[in-house]
Amino acid sequence: MPLKLLYKPTNSQFSILNSQFIKRLALDVGFHACGIAEATPLSDEELGFRRWLSDGDQADMHYMEEHVDMRHDPSLLVPGARSVVSLLLGYKPSRMMQGNHRIAMYAYGEDYHTRIKQMLFHLIAAIQKEYPDFTAKPCVDTVPIADKHWAVRAGLGWIGHNTLFVSPQLGSLCNIAELVTPSACDCYDHPIENRCGDCRRCIDACLNRALHAEGDGFRLDARRCTAYHTIENRDERLPEDLRRGGYAFGCDRCQLACPYNEQAPVSVEVSDAQLEELHHLADADEATFRRFARSRALSRIRYWQWKRNLS
């Protein structure tokens, strides 16, 4: 089924965007960082996606096998694409769950897809006040685009040893979004150096050894990942040898071990009432669970999976 384009292509000559102006607008809308990369295709070596698939590291996430070429080349997503505007929004909470039924930090609050999509539309509208011919496709992680790698191209950070994108300011506790546009920019950003060095804290923190070395970096085997099994796995039972480290939805162990996340600023305030609600979810009946999950990332799983994960 072809993807529905959420922008309106035209045959006119697009204005060249002032990159500093775009970045100021992005911060005004509420994003925490913005970088802009030229929309030239990612190489197989740069992305490493086809080998990840061929080795079966995607487990049963067969949707990852779709639109592979589009993940490499944004012009297949947006014909005539010239620029990819990458945006970061931090989600480090002021307080974290404790105990044996924890939820990954990114899922504490409202569904980030909804919030970020609204912010992207606000950013497009703000840009159009200065550039009326501006058009772009807003992308959160439901669109087949290589979010992490475009954020790297845009100079916002690097791919860490935990295979997550790491910002020097926000760590890996950030959501990534893009605007893919046929407009060119007056200046493009460039990648910065990988600053993980010899650190192995995230690798050693993984209870299931899901991270393994490949070349100069590391690769994630979803078949051994707690986050994969507690979210994507649709089997009636989880693997008997899976060590969950107290998590019932997702996992933060590799992120909590990262020194960049330790020093990252708090982005989301969590109240006493919110934290109590999260903890009481372990005792929720199906109606309560569904009502709570409806507007959150927790809606990714069904109630029977939640009960399975708690056992």
Active site residues per annotation:
141
Q: Is 66 helix (H, G, I), strand (E, B) or coil?
A: coil
Q: Is 250:107 a contact under the CB 8 Å cutoff? A: yes
Tell me how far apart the alpha carbons of residues 126 and 29 are, in angstroms, rounded to a whole number: 9
Query: 50: exposed, middle or buried (C-beta count within 10 Å: 0-12, 13-18, 19+)?
Result: middle
How is residue 104 annotated by DSSP?
A: -
CA atoms within 13 A on the CB side of 148: 15
Tell me how far apart the alpha carbons of residues 32 and 88 are, in angstroms, rounded to a whole number: 6
Q: Which helix (H) or strand (E) holds 248?
A: strand 247-249
Both tokens of residue 119? 């912010």
Chain centroid to Cα 309, Å, comes to 23
Tell me how far apart the alpha carbons of residues 183 and 172 are, in angstroms, rounded to a whole number: 29
Q: Is 291:110 a contact under the CB 8 Å cutoff? A: no
Residues 6 or more apart from 250 whose CB is under 8 A from it? 103, 104, 106, 107, 226, 227, 230, 231
